[in-house]
Structure 1
Amino acid sequence: MDPFTIDISDAAVDDLRARLDRTRWADDGRRDEDQEPGRRGPEPKRVQDLAGRWRDLDWRAVQDRLNAYPQIVEEIDGVRVHAYHVRSPHEDATPLVLTHGWPGSAADYLDVIGPLTDPTAHGGSAQDAFHVVVPDIPGFGFSQKPATGGWTIPRVAGAWATLMGRLGYDGYVAHGGDLGAWITQVLLAMDPAARAAHVSFLVTPPPPGDPAAVGALDPQDLARLGRLGAFMAEGSAYMALQATRPQTLAYALADSPVGQLAWLLEKYDAWSAGPDALTPEQVLTSASITWFTQTGGSSAHFYADNAALLPTAAVPPPAPPVQDKPFGVAVYRDDPAPPVRAFAEPGFSRIVHWAEHDGGHFAPMEVPGTFVEDLRRFAAALPA
């Protein structure tokens, strides 16, 4: 496999700063006194502040941090796939593939690679060690943008199975969040080498035609079901647009860094534990990767390629079921759609780990210590 180093040109960095300097700002729009801040999108002051920080961001320092771990590129199914591949100093470590979602990239996991691969240097023991593989979904980050459609979730899962095989891992575990959780579940079902899976996002709508199932829920789970309904009713417009007209959106995201920043920021604020849950550098690192790789449009197209699997209906489909393999769930309480265990269990016959934590949708960035410890506990619960 070819080694890879991120190297953004000075011209690209200068162009970004020049575009930020020339931003034509939207006005405040309609201001209703009873309107919750951010209800209609990111507040102008918030975007202006982050755009100013972006203008002054030391990209070379960010790039050095992104290059701190070894990376590879490998052509799989006609697309060059970029991935971090970090082997543990403990040779008998468990191979682990981590899959990001939208918005995001493999860089979402930067804060957890060290503790996962070298636990003895981060408060753990050698038996907690993982060999870590973190790919970018094609059309995201530094993976190649597909020239044609058809990059469905099963196709990505198949690419991950190929990648792990070529890396020499004949048995591994998998984790995913957001769209990566769906990829992870399909990967577990399709690849015999995938021994177990862990997710930090799980959609659990009520079973159709069974109102008694909802009536049997306790107040906490009823509240969670209500949050899922509110998300589908008020927070899923991005998904409808990306699943139906991604190219229309792509022109704006490719031309306006502030437009792209606001598009991502709305979800970083809404899905995390709050506007301060992620640091400005974390948000701007993600925005920079998307900008420099011009993957705002291609990552939106991923929704269109998967529209049949991720419909924007009032009630989303349940997660792909996985039977007879160990499965773990980390529930982060501020996620916009925390799962209901009673609705998850029919699809997963071997839930060996279910834990609840503070934090939101972007756990590896928001609460990396909690995320690492949860993965360690999941791995400890797996059969030898």
Structure 2
Amino acid sequence: MTFSPFRIDVSDEVLDDLRARLARTRFTDRSGDQPWQAGADPDYLRHLVSYWVDGFDWRAREAELNALPHYQAKIGGRRMHFLRVPGARPAGAPAPLPLILSHGWPSSFVEMLPLVDRLTDPAKYGNDPADAFDVVVPSLPGFLYSELPKGPLTRASMAQTLHLLMTDVLGYQRYGAFGGDVGGVVTGWLGALYPEQVAGVHMIHPPFPASFDSHPMSPAEQAYLDAEAAYDESDGGYGAIMGTRPDTIAAALNDSPAGLAAWLVDKYRDWSDNHGDLESRFDRDTLLTIITLYWTSGAIGSSFRQYFDFHHNSPRPNITVPAAFTVSTEPSHANFPREIAERACTDIRHWSEPGRGGHFMPLEEPDLLAAELTQFFTSLRPY
């Protein structure tokens, strides 16, 4: 398979239409007594939309993104977008291990960019240049510039696509994989399906086993599952609608940029380690870069497909390759017991609970996460 360069190129007409829609936004009133109590806070949304219209410089961000090496390939007849950044290895050093970094929802390849420089050129950050990696960052199928497959979008099918990208398209014989959220589940599937080629897997969201039937659950496991179910009572509405009526909500979000922003920033605030202050973790330019990518690609609806097709997923085999975890601090993963992951993984080499960094940890704590990735994957030498 071959691949070719790709550029992000948003027309002036699309940007003019976006600004016109934003200028006509009809804002709602707050439902609860407190900001963010009932979802995206209307006052914050007004603030963000105003900046989107008058302060945000998409062309500058577009140029920054296009300074990176973007590519596209056809896999299974469908377009796949990815970045590929070679490691800056010293002369005479062994070839760097390739790493594929997979984002989740509601995210994009932008989430992984702070890791790219730290992993490909560690000397720039005062670290050992021999620890450089080759880095590949895909847009998962259905996200931004990567097309949906012809059949159901399952975790296994996404893993198969990423494996073909790494092996058939890019020619790597062996590689490591990292991910969070959906990208983390896909990372687990890579380790389960391709143990001969996958050197190890690293995730911020530890996996569940295909079944809890092998032995009785511990009190810690039961307490976690009960707490997760309770949290879903207040947070699970987004998933319920995207899993049952995705076309209904996609019609609204694909027509209203302010609505799209509300849908996304609600989760960036709820799931990150920001202590109630969204912009303490993500500046407005970063948030609006991600939102503008979703808007201009028209991909919000296709990003829901992995929810709608969830029932097509089959049980995942055990993950037998070396595994590492830097556990997210987001509410749904508070007090996640290692024994649940041990039911799914037979070779956990590293388990870290740093107490900071949430669902979007590559953006939130890039130095911490780059160090953990480097520590784990260099420990697997020779690859």
Query: Structure 2 length as normaliser, TM-score?
Result: 0.90
Matched, 1:278 2:282: yes
Alignment of 1:128-207 (within 5 A): 128-146=131-149, 148-165=150-167, 166-191=169-194, 192-204=196-208
**CA deviations over 1:167-189 (Å, ceiling 9, x no partner):** 11100000010000111111111
Bigger drift between 89-98 and 155-164 goes to 89-98
Task: Give the residue type in structure 2 aligned to 1:48.
Answer: R
2:156–2:313 CA contact under 8 A, matched in 1? no
- In the alignment, which residue of structure 1 is the partner of 2:244? 244
Matched, 1:340 2:340: no
- In the alignment, which residue of structure 1 is the partner of 2:376? 378
Q: Check 1:187–1:208 CA distance in 2 against 1; reply closer, same or farther (3 A cut).
A: closer
2:112–2:363 CA contact under 8 A, matched in 1? yes
Matched, 1:14 2:16: yes
Matched, 1:86 2:89: no
Matched, 1:356 2:350: no
SS in 2 for 1:352: strand
Question: What's the Cα RMSD here?
Answer: 2.3
2:6–2:71 CA contact under 8 A, matched in 1? yes
What stretches of structure 2 of length at least 5 have no aligned partner? none
Q: In structure 2, how many angstroms separate the alpha carbons of the residues matched to 1:224 and 1:243?
A: 24
- In the alignment, which residue of structure 1 is the partner of 2:302? 298
Identity of aligned residues (%): 36
2:325–2:352 CA contact under 8 A, matched in 1? yes
2:184–2:203 CA contact under 8 A, matched in 1? yes
- In the alignment, which residue of structure 2 is the partner of 1:264? 264
**CA deviations over 1:268-311 (Å, ceiling 9, x no partner):** 0000012222221221111111000001111012211224449x
- In the alignment, which residue of structure 2 is the partner of 1:367? 365
- In the alignment, which residue of structure 2 is the partner of 1:232? 232
Task: Give the residue type in structure 2 aligned to 1:64.
Answer: A
Task: Give the residue type in structure 1 aligned to 2:159.
Answer: A
2:205–2:327 CA contact under 8 A, matched in 1? yes
- Within the candidate set 104, 107, 124, 1:101 is matched to 104
Q: In structure 2, how many angstroms separate the alpha carbons of the residues matched to 1:286 and 1:168?
A: 30
Q: In structure 2, how many angstroms separate the alpha carbons of the residues matched to 1:69 and 1:270?
A: 30
Q: Check 1:212–1:144 CA distance in 2 against 1; reply closer, same or farther (3 A cut).
A: closer
Task: Give the residue type in structure 2 aligned to 1:88.
Answer: G
1:173–1:195 CA contact under 8 A, matched in 2? yes
Q: How far does residue 332 in structure 1 lie from its aligned partner after superposition?
A: 2.3
- Within the candidate set 329, 337, 342, 2:325 is matched to 329
Task: Give the residue type in structure 2 aligned to 1:198.
Answer: H
Q: How far does residue 348 in structure 1 lie from its aligned partner after superposition?
A: 0.8
- In the alignment, which residue of structure 2 is the partner of 1:314? none
Bigger drift between 298-307 and 241-250 goes to 298-307
Bigger drift between 199-208 and 17-26 goes to 199-208
Q: How far does residue 27 in structure 1 lie from its aligned partner after superposition?
A: 2.2
Task: Give the residue type in structure 2 aligned to 1:17.
Answer: R
What stretches of structure 1 of length at least 5 have no aligned partner? 311-318
Q: How far does residue 102 in structure 1 lie from its aligned partner after superposition?
A: 0.4
**CA deviations over 1:31-70 (Å, ceiling 9, x no partner):** 44xxx53231111111111111111310011111211210
- In the alignment, which residue of structure 1 is the partner of 2:6? 4
Q: In structure 2, how many angstroms separate the alpha carbons of the residues matched to 1:241 and 1:13?
A: 29
Task: Give the residue type in structure 1 aligned to 2:83.
Answer: Y
Aligned residues: 367
Q: Check 1:44–1:211 CA distance in 2 against 1; reply closer, same or farther (3 A cut).
A: farther
Task: Give the residue type in structure 1 aligned to 2:70.
Answer: Q
